[in-house]
Amino acid sequence: MKTILGIAVFLLTSMLPIYAQRGNTQAPTSPVTGSAANGKALYYSYSCYACHGYNGETGRAFVGNWSANLANEENFIRFLRGRANVAPLTPSTSMPNFAENTLSDKQAKDIYAYIRTFKNAQPDLKNILLLNQIVEDASKPSTR
């Protein structure tokens, strides 16, 4: 019993900070074995896009903020399954749990493969005139 409790405490104390902390700006390079084409359909049907955007660039974005949970397939699957231990009535994150009976390892790998196709497509800030203009305006007295 103590062991189980210990594992649960470990998961809670080790995984949550990983999820919350700032991730790597560089995309992972680990091997991908799933099908990105299948993963694209699953990413939509399992509503991953609802929180992470259609391209992984908005909301709780992956791109430019690659969590350790996305470092490789094993971490990704462990993370999906581990959500069961997050207290459901007072969740500390809004990431749902994905039990194996509802999303197989193969399907999870397919989703992972699709996520890995996401590219950092946002331009450098210096190339976005609109946003630069907004910063410049901030230094001026109010226009109205």
Partner 1 sequence: MAKKNGSLNRRGFLKGAAAGAAASAASLVTNTSPAEAQRGGNAAAPVPAPTQEQIARDAGVVRPPATVRAVQRPGSDLMVQVLKDMGLEYVAGNPGSSFEGLQESFINYGNPPNRMPEFITALHEESAVTMAHGYAKAEGKPMIALLHGTIGVQHAAMSIYQAYYDRTPVLMITGRDEGFIQAHTAHDMSAMVRSFTKWDAQPRTLEESLTALQHAYNEAITPPMGPTLVVLDTEFQKEEARELKVPAYRPPQIAGIDAGKAKEIAEALLDAQNPRTEVRRLRTPQGVKLSVELAELVGASTGTGATTGPMSFPQRHPLCGPGASTAYDYTLGLEIPAAQASIIGPGLATLLARDTANVGFGGIVPVAGGRGARGGAGATNAAAIQADAEASLPLLIEEVKRQLTADKRRVIEERKAKHAEANRKARIEAITQAVETKRNGWDSSPVATARIYAELWPLIKNEDWCLASPSGFSGGHHVQLWDHNKPYSYLGGQGAGGMGYGAPASVGAALAAKSRNRIVINIQTDGDLNYAPGVLWTAVHHKLPMLTIMHNNRAWHQELMFVEYMCGVRGRGTDRGHIGTSLRDPFIDYAKMAAGYGMASEGPISDPSKLAAAFKRGLDSVKRGEPYLIDVITQPR
Q: Which residues bind partner 1 (CB under 8 A)?
A: 45-47, 49-51, 53-55, 57-59, 61, 63-64, 83-84, 88, 91, 94-99, 101-103, 121-123, 125, 128, 130-135, 137-139, 141-144
Cα-based distances in Å from 85 to 17, 20, 99, 132, 139: 15, 16, 11, 44, 49
Residue 48 beta carbon to partner 1: minimum distance, rounded to whole angstroms: 8
Nearer to partner 1, 33 or 47 (CB): 47
Residue 54 beta carbon to partner 1: minimum distance, rounded to whole angstroms: 6
Nearer to partner 1, 13 or 94 (CB): 94
Residue 79 beta carbon to partner 1: minimum distance, rounded to whole angstroms: 12
Query: Quick one: CA torsion of 115, 119, 72, 51, rounded to 10 degrees?
Result: -40
Altogether, the residues listed in the chain come to a count of: 144
H helix count then E strand count, the chain: 6, 0
CB 79 within 8 A of CB 93: no
Nearer to partner 1, 28 or 98 (CB): 98
